[in-house]
């Protein structure tokens, strides 16, 4: 994704610690310390990270100009999602077959290099960490606070998303002041599957609302 934005927007990736508490409040506290202090910025939250980005935006940090959410949510995306926690806690991620990762996250035509990159990313977090994050997803609900957002919100929606339903975007559209929606014909991991299309949408949104060139 950063390669796709190169030359147009500077990109800083925040990798969460995996040995610290994984609830959204704790991760928000950690992420807030990583935000730029000397320049304006746009905050991007993908999937699990969306509620962290929302919580940060609600704190109105100096320099924040816009919020972008990719395939994310303000409320648990699926009922009963917490039932998967014991399975994730016990299953080694290297045992998950490639076809299942393609089906759920990447799309059937994802190249081997993209699949390998996803496996590497997942390997950075132990099963107990991922299970804790799943528990956080199952209990989060920020819908009542969406109206407090003071910055424009762009939502990148994947038409082939098997994890986060379209109603997640509708809930945000109904409650936020300035909302933009871009639908891409991609799977859940759209930033990895088609980073160029995602980058184009982000740059266009930046120019429209922020005058960023």
pLDDT-derived band at 158 (thresholds 50, 70, 90) equals: very high
- How much of the chain is in helix, strand and coil states, percent to nearest 5? 50, 15, 40
Q: What's the pLDDT score for residue 93?
A: 67
Residue burial 44-82, b: 16+ Cβ < 10 Å; e: rest: bbbbbbbbbbbbbbbeeeeebebbbbbbbbbbbbeeeee
Summarize pLDDT for 7-47 with one digit per residue, the tens: 777 888 888 888 888 999 999 999 999 999 888 999 999 99
CA nearest to 177, candidates 203, 209, 148: 148
Whether residue 31 contacts residue 52, with contact meaning beta carbons closer than 8 Å, is answered with yes
90 pLDDT more than 80: no
Q: What is the rounded CA–CA span in Å between residue 185 and residue 85? A: 29
Q: Could you give the 3-state DSSP secondary structure of residue 68?
A: strand
Q: What's the pLDDT score for residue 136?
A: 93
pLDDT-derived band at 210 (thresholds 50, 70, 90) equals: confident
104 pLDDT more than 90: no
Q: What is the rounded CA–CA span in Å between residue 187 and residue 164? A: 10
Could you state, in order of their start, the residue ranges of all structural domains in the chain? 2-210
154 pLDDT more than 70: yes
Residue burial 105-132, b: 16+ Cβ < 10 Å; e: rest: bbbeebeeebbeebeeeeeebeeebbbb
Summarize pLDDT for 122-149 with one digit per residue, the tens: 777 888 888 889 899 999 999 999 999 9
Query: Could you tell me what percent of the chain has a pLDDT over 90?
Result: 48
DSSP-derived letter for residue 102 is: I
Summarize pLDDT for 162-203 with one digit per residue, the tens: 999 999 999 999 999 889 999 999 899 889 888 889 999 999
CA nearest to 44, candidates 144, 177, 191, 193: 191
CA nearest to 160, candidates 191, 187, 193, 189: 187
Q: What's the pLDDT score for residue 213?
A: 54
Q: Which residue has the tokens 């508490």?
A: 21
CATH superfamily for domain 2-210: Alpha/Beta hydrolase fold, catalytic domain (3.40.50.1820)
């Amino acid at each position: 994704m950063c390669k796709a934005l190169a030359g147009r927007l500077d990109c800083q990736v925040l990798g969460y610690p995996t040995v610290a508490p994984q609830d959204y409040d704790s991760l928000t506290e950690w992420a807030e310390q990583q935000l730029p202090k000397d320049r304006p910025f746009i905050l991007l939250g993908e999937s699990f990270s969306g509620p962290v980005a929302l919580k940060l935006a609600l704190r109105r940090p100096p320099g924040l100009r816009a919020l972008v959410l990719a395939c994310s949510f303000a409320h648990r995306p699926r009922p009963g999602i917490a039932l998967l926690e014991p399975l994730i806690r016990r299953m080694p991620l290297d045992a998950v077959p490639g076809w299942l990762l393609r089906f759920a996250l990447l799309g059937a035509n994802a190249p081997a290099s993209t699949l390998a990159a996803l496996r590497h990313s997942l390997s950075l977090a132990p099963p107990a960490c991922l299970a804790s994050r799943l528990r956080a997803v199952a209990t989060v609900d920020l819908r009542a606070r969406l109206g407090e957002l003071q910055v424009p919100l762009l939502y990148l929606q994947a038409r082939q998303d098997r994890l986060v339903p379209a109603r997640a975007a509708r809930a945000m559209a109904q409650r936020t002041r300035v909302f933009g929606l871009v639908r891409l014909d991609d799977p859940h991991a759209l930033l990895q599957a088609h980073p160029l299309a995602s980058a184009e949408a982000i740059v266009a949104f930046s120019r429209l609302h922020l005058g960023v060139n």
